[in-house]
Structure 1
Amino acid sequence: MKFYGRNWEPLSDNRDDKHPNVPTPGVEGSMPITSSHADILASITSLTEIQEYDLTGFSPGVFRVQQRLRWASRRTTTRIEDMAYCLIGIFDVSMPITYGEGQRSWFRLMEIILQQCKSWDVFAWAGPWSPYSCAIPSSPKGYDALDVNSFIALRRTLDMGKLEGKVGQTPVHLRGDHTFAMTRHGLQMKLPLLSAAFGRTKQEVTIHAWTPGSYLRWSKPQDLTVQVKCRQWVPKAEIYCLGIVNYSVSGLARLNTEYEICEGPLLCFFFTLPPNDQSWFRLQTENVIIIDHKGAPVRCGCSFETLLI
């Protein structure tokens, strides 16, 4: 494996950047070639966030989806279509190559990924939608909205790394609705909806919640605020809510008309129900919406609904 710069000059004088200290084959007694850029792999990892184990022993497939799409989030390509086509091998999928289709190539790739993906991390993006679906970002740049440290913390807290598997494997206790599916009418997905109030000037969503008080008794209602930066004008509506994407059955305990949220942080979508409308509408946001109540249980109004996004 060799790495080259934009003018096709080698970035090291190794024979093989994957194994820089291997002697030249066929030359008895030859010494390993030493590199003027001995830390070439470490440098690439630092710049691209692609770990060294992926550079030296990559396994293609539709898993660790958010992380792999993040690799492409800062790429630029001469042709719009190549932003999608360059990921075909990484995800080990098949799709026709049709130059001239523009942004639709990215939509087609994401449709295929969503058909095979079972984990919630594919929805950890923000920014403009695809013109073909509000469940898909307009480009991989949407996956750069959540910084890598926040995403790693999100995965570790929810033990995502141990639950993730390859195509055809459905891990036990997988979070969220792993039966979500792209249909002719949009993404069909079951979500718990938390009732919320939205303040346009503060760009915050407020959840009316109960939090634990002294002696493990429940205190008076205490608002839980969540930062939401909207990219568009938010229509006036009677009802706003947050849909939890990475919920778990064990982390949502029903208590009469309320639910107790025992685990976090939680990845959410922001919805509104416009007047005289019977379907929820997902709003564009500039930030990935995360509820983090620092591990303390929270009680609030909640309902489970199957939505078309």
Structure 2
Amino acid sequence: MRRWAMVTILLSPEVLTRFGPRLATVIAGQPHRFLHLDAEPGPDGDFGIDAAFLSRDITGRSSKFNISPTMERFFHLLGNSRGLRWVQTHSAGTDRPVWNPIKARGIPLTTAAGALSATVAITAVGGVIALARRFPDVMDAQRRHAWEPMLEDRAPPDLAGTSALVVGLGPIGGEIARLLKAIGLRVTGARPEARDHEHCDAVISYSGIRAHLPKTDWLVLACPLSDLTRGLIDGAGLASLPKGAHVVNVARGEVIVEKDFIEVLRSGHLGGAWLDVFEFEPLDPASPLWDLPRVMVSPHSSGHAQGNYDRVAGIFLDNLGRFLSGQPLKNAR
């Protein structure tokens, strides 16, 4: 292990309470101090933080553009720590604007990629099943106290044999592809470069998406937000989907041009959508998406589960050991 004169780590009391023994094992013999959000700076205004863990209890109910006081304080401390060398986040992505100053400083960021993959994938496939089985119609009938069996022309279509395009084949997209294959769909994956994937019948590059959309019954978005994916799906692309096709988005809201999406949904061309992410979050109460038929809105919660804290902490602790010993960090961005 590389020897530090002293390593200073910013984390929450909750992390220290829940994982104190495991922290002690990782950091054994290394002079250290733990700081919390109530830390005071030194005489020069510097907090002296070397490493930091942004855990879910600090983020709280923050959204992309509405930052909680605890999260704001966290980034204030980082911004006033000239020697900061590494930050771990509980999230699978670092595309929120709040990360930009850290990125501009060239400080390594590590994510929780992989810890949330199964949960997000199950949620996305749950959205496919809910739409295919017309749960929105069933719930509407329940609210109206109406007994409306799904018979004859109201019968849901079969899922088996339909085609899905999964955009993004990282840990989340790959698991979505596996689950969709398991329930009988024909799965095409899309990623920046077309390379085979064990759970896909075919793989195309992002540049081939537009040509593939007319053959897609289920468009499932699971890609990170980047210059390649921002606005990737616009009105023309959505209109080129077969009539009655569905969209599931567990990626980022900006991957779809939202105003175009609303217009195509209003036209009745699409069969419905399951949406966990939006261009602006929280979603404006005045947004038409709340009330459009067969559109299911979820408050960016596809990755939330009770076991997440432990899974993410495992990644942090592994990376902390690597950080202290000078080894490459996992999930570095």
Structure with the higher helix share, 1 or 2: 2
Bin for the TM-score computed over the shorter chain: under 0.3
- TM-score normalised by L of structure 2: 0.21
Instruction: Output the TM-score relative to the length of structure 1.
Output: 0.22
Which has more strand, going by share of residues? 1
